[in-house]
Amino acid sequence: MEASVDTSQIVKFAKLDDLLALSRANSLWPLTFGLACCAIEMMAAGGPRFDISRFGAEVFRPSPRQADVMIVAGTVNKKIAPAVKTLYDQMLEPKWVIAMGNCAISGGPFVFPGQYAVVEGVDQLFPVDVYIPGCPPRPEALIEGILALEQKLTGKRRWPVVKPPQ
Amino acid sequence: MIASNDIPSRTNPQETFVLNLGPQHPATHGVLRIKMTMNGEYVTRAEPVIGYIHRMHEKMGENRTWAQFLPNTGRIDYLSALHYNHAFVGVVERALRIEVPRRAEYIRVITSELNRISSHLVWWSAFLLDLGGFTPLLYAFDDREKILDLLEGVTGSRLTYCYFRFGGLCNDIDDEFIKGTRAFVAQMRPRLKMYRELVTDNIILRKRLEGIGPISAEMCRKYGATGPVIRGAGVAYDVRRSEPYSVYPEFDFEIPVFPEGDSMARYLVRMEEMAQSLRIIEQALGKLPPGPVMGKVPRVLKLPPGDYCYAVEAARGRFLVRTVSDHKEIPYRVKLRTPSFSNLSLYEEASKGMMLPDALALLGSLDLVIPDIDR
Amino acid sequence: MIPSLEQLSVQFTRLIPLGAVAPSVPDSAAAAPAPTATPPPSPGPVQSVDYSLKGYHLDVTVSSGQVVLAAEILDQNGFGLDAITGVDWIAQNEMEVVYDYFHPLSPLRVVVRARVPRGHPELPTLSGVFPGANWHERETHDFFGIRFLGHPDLTPFLLPEDADYHPLRKDFSA
């Protein structure tokens, strides 16, 4: 009688949905959609110190047809709102949106009584999955937002939440 | 370049098409849209369309007190935010004749020059990204992170600084900053040498930039283009020398000027400016006087009625704040004359008849930050 | 060529008599009590100014028809156009257009001002003399509604293409 071989390290059984979610979460391709200051922090997150490529997300695609996640980094104003909506519509399903920075969440510091140009939050245009506050948020915050999106996709968190030392 | 009688016009109609560059495009450095009328690969007319990131800074100037407007200044041109801080606090200090302590002026110069280097590093990475080289971004952002660490320890922010206050600074620098800046200057010089050997002397970059996008000094004057654009056209115009402010007259530095007027000249101006900024930082650290960092400022800021201006040499060129006061706590009018606005205004004339990749090289060599244009 | 402040003052003073500039007179006193925002009275149309206080050297007030002549004087003296902007003096029912000039080879800074009535704000365009004025005037039109006669393309620039409002006017509400 042959001894049974432990193949659990090489062959995994899982639901197809879970596998698809895992592969999507680990290779989120962002759309290069830097509008303003937050875009520089997004570039810094792609830089060598913060290195978003550890999470599979360094391939910024200029074309919405090739991107999974739209990171709205910066202020959306009324002139560009139709273009942003068009880009969102052009992205293929499944797609997600990360609102990075205070401007994308709620208009940011540019909201004042009598303001005429800023859309107060990109969620007025389309649904947002993850909100990352900050003005601008640090690259670590953007990475945390991507990890939160991964958790939303797979249900599991890849990295434990960092607890600051007491 | 094609001969001018080949350019389509009403008398010489050829088939042209309109190519829309932007507002979402990796090479426009923000939300700039350029309607390019193309004849094949050649640009016959490039019309920039702006306003996609208009954030009402001038209207907010009329809705906020002088102090409440300070955070806005960091967001107009976020890459050289300290220069813009400087211009705004400068205009109030000039109008109220507030005296700024010498230590504060020195620290303003040191932090502003660090900001200039970090802004030029971002320009350099993005420019080479446009031309097709990704690697310099990784090196430049590494250097830039060191600057950001230094500035974060002192100002609290990484990008959109709001560090200067009317009469001085928010807080003093510490020994860690001084030690760290000295170490940074020491390690940055060999890095600049490496960049020159690997990138600037690279034959591919030279072929892409030499002779491309000539902008004459006369064109700069007519359009009001300043900064590396006018210095790359042979005119030694720098606000730090022309309208000296702060303690810049006490430092020994050169204004890099290259006469060719092409994209390579503008590139070399910025690379050399980084080296000159390191010189200024070194001298300032050596001569840093002790003392307070905040002068005497009236509790309620009300400028006498009239208009006041203050100009600084930001990383992109001449930045002027013109403010009109009617003796209230909020300004009557704040006008921000930004360098990228004037620099881009000559693009339509300068890019006529160029090939598309050359037109993009010209656009990158102007070093634009689009929120600076739209305010 | 690098002009001196005196030479410029002389050239401008020769220009001013061509069209007398009426000093800014507020509307009839019966209209309103003291206006909330008044610029300080200027002693004359061409005056030297303390740079250390104001940030410029020469302040020239011209009538709206003379702005092109003033620009030509400055162009011939080698100045470059810094900025064009407007100020809405609503209490005096006027708008002021302010032209800033800098010189690439000298530290001189000149400011030229012109006033136009608020209900009918029109000025000739500078784009024939300084092509850079094209964009500045378009922006001023966007914000204040000031029309620059002869401008090649006075369509919305910073505002959306279909904008019909002028946000920096003091009576603007979104």
Domain positions in chain A: 17-150
Predicted local confidence at residue A156, as pLDDT: 85
Band the pLDDT of C21: cuts 50, 70, 90.
very low
State the chains in contact with C (3 or more Cβ–Cβ pairs under 8 Å): A, B
Predicted local confidence at residue A26, as pLDDT: 87
* Amino acid, res. B114: L
Chain-chain contact of A116 with C165 (C-beta, under 8 angstroms): yes
| Residues in B touching A62 (Cβ below 8 Å) | 24-26
Contact at 8 Å (CB) between B120 and B291? Answer: no
Q: What is the CATH number of the domain that holds C52?
A: 3.30.460.80
On the question of pLDDT at A8 being above 80, the answer is no
Chain-chain contact of A62 with B24 (C-beta, under 8 angstroms): yes
Angle at A75 between CA A69 and CA A78, to 5 degrees: 105
Rounded to a whole number of angstroms, the distance from the CA of B162 to the nearest CA of chain C is: 23
Answer whether B56 touches A (CB < 8 Å): yes
Question: Phi and psi for A63 in degrees, rounded to 5?
Answer: -95, 135
| Shortest CA distance from B137: residue in chain A | A47
Chain-chain contact of C135 with B345 (C-beta, under 8 angstroms): yes
Q: How many domains does chain C have?
A: 1
Chain-chain contact of A117 with C159 (C-beta, under 8 angstroms): yes
Please give the residue range of the domain that contains residue C109. 5-20+43-149
User: Mind listing the pLDDT tens digit for each residue in B132-141?
Assistant: 888 999 999 9
DSSP string spanning B308-373?
Answer: EEEEEEETTEEEEEEEEE-SSSS-SEEEEE-HHHHHHHTHHHHTTT-BHHHHHHHHHHT---HHHH
Residue A2 CB partners (closer than 8 Å, separation 6+): none
Chain-chain contact of B235 with C36 (C-beta, under 8 angstroms): no
Q: What is the mean pLDDT of residues B114-124?
A: 95
Mutation site for B-interface testing, chosen from C36, C38, C135, C140 by largest number of B Cβ within 10 Å: C135
| Residues in B touching A47 (Cβ below 8 Å) | 137-138, 141-142, 144-145
User: Mind listing the pLDDT tens digit for each residue in C113-156?
Assistant: 999 999 889 999 999 999 999 999 999 999 999 999 999 989 99
- Range in A56-65, A129-138, C31-40 the model is least confident about: C31-40
Band the pLDDT of B234: cuts 50, 70, 90.
very high
Band the pLDDT of C7: cuts 50, 70, 90.
confident
Answer whether A48 touches C (CB < 8 Å): no
Give the C-alpha separation, B324 to B331, whole Å: 6
Residue B330 CB partners (closer than 8 Å, separation 6+): B62, B63, B64, B65, B66
* Amino acid, res. A56: G
Answer whether C159 touches B (CB < 8 Å): yes
| Residues in B touching C109 (Cβ below 8 Å) | 243, 309
| Residues in B touching C87 (Cβ below 8 Å) | 307, 324, 332-333
| Residues in C touching A79 (Cβ below 8 Å) | 159-161
Chain-chain contact of C80 with B224 (C-beta, under 8 angstroms): yes
- Range in A64-68, B131-135, B356-360, C16-20 the model is least confident about: C16-20
Predicted local confidence at residue B144, as pLDDT: 93
Name the percent of chain A lying above pLDDT 70.
Answer: 98
Cis before A109 (ω within 30): no
Give the C-alpha separation, B129 to A39, whole Å: 15
Using CB atoms, pick whichever of B309, B332, B341 lies closest to residue C54: B309
ipTM of the shown complex? 0.89
Answer whether B248 touches C (CB < 8 Å): no
The domain at A17-150 falls in which architecture? Answer: 3-Layer(aba) Sandwich (3.40)
Contact at 8 Å (CB) between B321 and B87? Answer: yes
Residue from B45, B34, B36, B35 nearest B8 by CA: B45
| Residues in C touching B346 (Cβ below 8 Å) | 131-132
* Amino acid, res. B3: A
On the question of pLDDT at B299 being above 60, the answer is yes
Residue C27 resides in a domain: no
* Amino acid, res. C148: F
List beta partners, residue B34. Answer: B21, B48
For chain B positions 70-129, those within 8 Å of chain A (CB to CB) are: 71-72, 75, 78-79, 122, 125
Chain-chain contact of C132 with B95 (C-beta, under 8 angstroms): no
Give the C-alpha separation, C154 to C137, whole Å: 8
Q: Where are the beta strands (DSSP E) in A77-139?
A: 96-100, 130-132
Using CB atoms, pick whichever of C82, C106, C160 lies closest to residue B320: C82
Q: Where are the beta strands (DSSP E) in B100-198?
A: 164-165, 168-169
User: Mind listing the pLDDT tens digit for each residue in A48-86?
Assistant: 999 888 888 878 888 899 998 999 999 999 999 999 999
Band the pLDDT of C25: cuts 50, 70, 90.
very low
Average pLDDT value over all residues in chain C: 82
For chain C positions 11-40, those within 8 Å of chain B (CB to CB) are: 36-40
Predicted local confidence at residue A95, as pLDDT: 92
Using CB atoms, pick whichever of A40, A83, A110 lies closest to residue B122: A40
Chain-chain contact of B138 with A47 (C-beta, under 8 angstroms): yes
Both structure tokens of B186: 């020491």
List beta partners, residue C122. Answer: C147
Give the C-alpha separation, A125 to A146, whole Å: 21
Rounded to a whole number of angstroms, the distance from the CA of A99 to the nearest CA of chain B is: 16
Predicted local confidence at residue A7, as pLDDT: 74
On the question of pLDDT at A137 being above 60, the answer is yes
List beta partners, residue C147. Answer: C122
Rounded to a whole number of angstroms, the distance from the CA of B29 to the nearest CA of chain A is: 8
> For B5-374, which CATH class?
mainly alpha
Residue from B313, B233, B218, B219 nearest B266 by CA: B233
Answer whether A117 touches C (CB < 8 Å): yes
Strands C109-117 and C58-62, sheet pairing: parallel
Residue from B57, B307, B340 nearest C87 by CA: B307
Q: Which helix (H) or strand (E) holds B176?
A: helix B175-195
Answer whether B10 touches C (CB < 8 Å): no
Rounded to a whole number of angstroms, the distance from the CA of C155 to the nearest CA of chain A is: 14
For chain B positions 13-52, those within 8 Å of chain C (CB to CB) are: 50-51
| Residues in A touching C165 (Cβ below 8 Å) | 116
Quote the longest CA-to-CA distance of chain B. Answer: 71
Cis before A136 (ω within 30): yes
For chain A positions 95-114, those within 8 Å of chain C (CB to CB) are: 114
Q: What is the mean pLDDT of residues B354-370?
A: 92
Answer whether B58 touches A (CB < 8 Å): no
